[in-house]
Structure 1
Amino acid sequence: MDSLKKPADTMKVSVLASSSSGNVTYIETPHKRLLVDAGLSGKKVAALMGSINRDLNDVDGILVTHEHSDHCKGVGVLARKYHLDVYANEGTWNAMAHKIGKVPLEQKHIFGMGEIKTFGDLDVESFGVSHDAAEPQFYELHHGGRSFVILTDTGYVSEHLEGLIKDADGYLIECNHDTEMLRMGVYPWSLKQRILSDQGHLSNDDGAAAIIDVLGNHTKKIYLGHLSQDNNMKELAHVTMSSTLKQHDLAVGHDFSILDTDPEKATPLTII
């Protein structure tokens, strides 16, 4: 039973950074420590790890979602400096090779879309998303009967995907932009079209709609991630998510918490 679990036998998460300028998430179990993406400089990732009293020398590997720089910028330097194994699908490896520099062959691993890999006491399931990258995929991490889903950088969430990730204990969900802020903003129309497309990014409303469709009795934590620094505000994303869920008679703040992320500051290392 969950109530009888020992505190040590848990999965912990910190969203080290999340925004349109850089994304890194840290996941820890009693026997494994992984990063999902490293979209900041190696120095910045190390500092963020230090802020939660963790050390990159203890990390086992990096799972990469896709080749955009805000997700892979620091992958190469971290792999080389800390001898980290790196996992990505073949399309992503090919697309990010020129961005991350040389990674020793023994540290390069293929993690195919739709596969499940076991890392000690942590099972990781990959799933495809709709984004303008070579072969974008995100991850659901499982440990001790608990699960945590990372889902950003997608233009929409299909019914099939909703079925795959339903009723996780925690979510990092994309709330990239407020649609009106984006439409009225300074971006060129071509970029606005890209962001609004089915291969772009989830808006605040889209993120809330996705959570309504996947949230279940196990869900306790919802992190709002990948906010645009030009077309969104934390307060707006938070209010949109909270008010939308309340309109559907969901007990925000009682059954589950809505948590903000930041481009520069790690969220506390928290049990999922």
Structure 2
Amino acid sequence: MGSSLDSSLDHVVLVNNAKRALERGRFELTYQPIYSVDNREVDSVETLLRWRVAPGRLAVAQDFRSVFRDPMLSLSIRDFVLSTTLRQAARWRAEGHDMGRISVNATAFDLCAGDFALRLTDMVQGFGLAPDMLEIEVAEPAFYGPLAKPVSLALEALHYCGFSLAMDNFGATHAGLAALRNHSFRRLKIDHSLMRSALTNAVDKAIVRHVIALGHDLGMIVTAAGVENEDQMEIAVQLGFDSVQGFFVCVPKEAELLPRVCHVLNLQGRSA
């Protein structure tokens, strides 16, 4: 989109526009498959937030990330994402589609606002679903920000309630490594920039290889996110990633298209 919405609009105007957009149903969810390299099938899917800013024009979350600094709006968007995702998961199940786990991103503020684990448990049960079908994804920077301690407590509560946990944007910082030691993450996603640099930088390639080994030693699924071309796919397979996600595998899809897309990916994997 060129410059992001954050930089092209005053923050107050952007927040007000986002509030109206949420009220008018202009926030939408798309879903991106996460593909298992070993099993050659869709492992799970990730929910991705989009804002329809104009007909035929969708903005991705990083283009309007500053709206999440508004506490009330951030919580309203969080609840919209969760309720819409769970409603869709229940619909897929009723239609006989097994999408595996569904991953949902949560900010540090999302995790720390109120009793997130109990609220989410109530929401999941309200749709007749089980907590372990939902994977809560938190980015590594949440563990070295001012909310690091409350984030850790929230993750402990989520794990206790039966939810799966994933760490996103892992860059092997001290705080990220400490979080791996202290929490039972099911999935580890390597930072996009580290993956890109591993293509041309031998040191970064070695770091990624050791991070994958660490993840495996801790019993985690290690995922390469942001795989956008054949070169990145080849190095992901070469380095030993368990699963991949990105435009090279599949662009994010609307809910009604996803079962068919996943079926085709699974057929292609079995015939390969």
TM-score (normalised: structure 1): 0.38
Largest Rg, 1 or 2? 2
**Alignment TM-score, normalising by the size of structure 2:** 0.38
